[in-house]
Amino acid sequence: MIPVSKAGLGSSPNPASSYDEAVQRFEKIGEEESNSVTEVSRSRLMTHGEKTDQVYVLIHVWTNSPRQFVELGELLYERGHNVLILRLPYHGLKSHTVGELANVNLEDMRAYGDATIDIAQGLGDEVTVIGLSVGGAEASWIAQNRGDVQRVMTIASMFGLDHLPAFLDTFLMNLFLRVPNVNLISPSEPVREHVYRGQSTRGVAQVMHFGETVFAQARTTSPGVSQIIVLTNANDSTIDNRQIHELVDIWEQSGAGIVTYEFDASLGMPHDVIDVTSNSKSDLVYAKIIELLGE
């Protein structure tokens, strides 16, 4: 029941000053990944060879990798935009064990958000961020902290677990941040090269902690991004949609312009609505995203 700190997660921007610098920063990340990350899980940059009017930043779900967003990225690339998909910390490693995620901390999540937007600034005149689940929480942090981003779309953002009251979410987060990590492996989950199987209790606690810092910021400061699109999935049994709606209410009370859309429960879609290997209706999701983006 002892609370954990939610302070010290403000942004430290260092945007790329040119297209060439942005590409150099991305290539440095690629070099660092070459020895430790599986090829299919590495960061992706889809570029037209110069700065475009719009650049899209896509942030993948927890335990997945940039491979998850390739199909949507290609749709946006074909419309003339540069697309950046950076790998979340400790994901896609050659060890291929979910226990790697126990190493993630709040500073990693903050640094990832800044590094992604810093590179994107050199790739497009306007930056749009799309994040799913934990990627949606990361996108929400960006919405709060990076006023140099024009638009953010969050999809099924992970701030808490489904079927649990808020106080129990907090209790479990505090507990698993302080006790040794446990890897929970799901035998029913399919084996996929670009996805870790199961969950790390410490890792999940860290991302819940990160999500709480977003709420703490939102309660005291209006988001820096003026256009925010929030998507939810009524059939989602992984994350708590109530917390997403609570954040929307906080943002709206601060004067932010929010557009919301919910996929109907009758569609029967899973939490990961983006990955073609987990959702057979991903084309429907892509079409709605493209529509909401005005593409």
- Domain boundaries, given as residue ranges, for the chain: 19-292
Q: Label residue 190 by pLDDT band (50, 70, 90).
A: confident
Cα–Cα distance measured from residue 114 to residue 94, given in angstroms and rounded to the nearest whole number: 25
**Parallel/antiparallel/unpaired status of strands 151-155 and 199-200:** unpaired
Other beta carbons within 10 angstroms of residue 99's beta carbon come to 18
Q: Do 282 and 71 meet the contact criterion of CB atoms below 8 Å apart?
A: yes
Q: Label residue 94 by pLDDT band (50, 70, 90).
A: very high
List, in sequence order, the alpha helices (H) in the chain. Answer: 19-33, 70-78, 106-120, 134-145, 166-178, 201-218, 241-253, 282-292
Task: Tell me the per-residue pLDDT of 126-168, one tens digit each, with 9 for 90 and over.
Answer: 999 999 999 999 999 999 999 999 999 999 999 988 877 777 8
- Quick one: CA torsion of 181, 185, 191, 195, rounded to 10 degrees? -30
Q: Which tokens in the block code for residue 44?
A: 């992706």
How would you label 135-145 residue by residue, b for 16+ Cβ within 10 Å and e otherwise? Answer: bbbbbbbbbbb
Cα–Cα distance measured from residue 77 to residue 86, given in angstroms and rounded to the nearest whole number: 16
Residue range 19-292, CATH number: 3.40.50.1820
Q: Label residue 3 by pLDDT band (50, 70, 90).
A: confident
pLDDT surpasses 70 at 8:
no
- Quick one: CA torsion of 126, 111, 219, 222, rounded to 10 degrees? -20
Cα–Cα distance measured from residue 199 to residue 101, given in angstroms and rounded to the nearest whole number: 8
* Mean pLDDT value across residues 85-102: 97
Classify 255 as helix, strand or coil: coil
**pTM listed for this prediction:** 0.95
Cα–Cα distance measured from residue 153 to residue 289, given in angstroms and rounded to the nearest whole number: 9
Angle 89-90-92 (CA atoms, 0-180°, nearest 5)? 110
